[in-house]
Amino acid sequence: MKIINIPIVNGLSKTKGVEEAPAEILARLESIYSNGKGNLVNVNNLEVSSIGISGDLEKDNENIYRRAFELFGNEKLLFLGGDHSLSYPLTRAFFDYSEHNSRKPCLIVFDAHPDCMEPVDRKIPTHEEWLKALIEDGFPTKNILLVGSRNADVSELNYLKEKKIKQFTVEQLMFELETKTDAIMEFGYGKDVYVSIDIDAVDPAYAPGTGYCEVGGISSQQFLYIVKRLSKMKNLKAVDLVEINPKKDVNGMTLQLGAKIVSEFL
């Protein structure tokens, strides 16, 4: 798997600091010697690159889109952000690449929020708007699964209902973890799968280092179980991990969880 660091922030105060996460996560990865599957983790063997950020959000989004489009199809990719606005140019490139190659794109999103607010600037949607922008671009809604959302605006709830976006709640995951993880994997069957992970999908008791701490999430152990299962999907093409903020972390808990998530996909 190739790791690409993209420390982008879409100019919002609550996400300031997430640009430091990629380097911090990789530094923490050095303390993880093996993952839950029993595979050794050797950071010296990892292929890591970066996409530079200039500060011009429109140009940065265009550059991320272009670079991602070039990378899709060769090997599995893991993108480290940054805030969730990063997922818009990445998933749009994934969508276009899949369409260009007559593939069926599938998007599985782990997030405490739907991120379906109305975009203020359609060219550079923020971390609160990126999924709606992608849907409006034509990403097939029947191939989108939202997991763990637990704090949505009324307009977002109405939009999800209108677009018939499939969701799994935190309660479903907690009480039917194995069954619902099976269903998540089945959802991606026969498609090219992109997984987007906002760390706030995990309860802040386990991942406090993020801008929007939403209580009532699943535990880190439950989430790592899901990640281990997803990592075995042969049709998994890309993953992004976003919204980890080292400046808001407590005892490095969130960074360590981020590094553990990365290790499970290796």
Q: What is the CATH number of the domain that holds 142?
A: 3.40.800.10
| Residue 254 confidence (pLDDT) | 98
- The rounded distance, in Å, linking the Cα atoms of 167 and 7 is 29
Q: Average pLDDT of the chain?
A: 95
| Residue 11 confidence (pLDDT) | 65
Count of structural domains, the chain: 1
The mean pLDDT of 70-75, rounded to a whole number, is 90
| Residue 168 confidence (pLDDT) | 98
8 A C-beta contact, residue 84 and residue 112: no
Structure tokens at 238: 């890309």
Look at 44-48, 96-100, 221-225 and tell me which has the smallest mean pLDDT.
Answer: 44-48
Look at 18-27, 36-45, 90-99, 245-254 and tell me which has the smallest mean pLDDT.
Answer: 36-45
Containing structural domain, residue 122: 2-265
pLDDT > 80? residue 120: yes
pLDDT above 90 covers a percentage of the chain that reads: 90
**HEC sequence for the chain:** CEEEECCCCCCCHHHCCHHHHHHHHHHHHCCCCECCCCCECCHHHCEEEECCCCCCHHHHHHHHHHHHHHHCCCCCEEEECCCHHHHHHHHHHHHHHHHHCCCCEEEEEECCCCCCCCCCCCCCCCCCCHHHHHHHCCCCHHHEEEECCCCCCHHHHHHHHHHCCEEECHHHHHHCHHHHHHHHHHHCCCCEEEEEEEHHHECCCCCCCCCCCCCCCECHHHHHHHHHHHCCCCCEEEEEEECCCHHHCCCCHHHHHHHHHHHHHC
- The rounded distance, in Å, linking the Cα atoms of 92 and 114 is 17
Name the pTM for this structure.
Answer: 0.97
> What residue type is 95 in one-letter code?
F
Structure tokens at 103: 């593939």
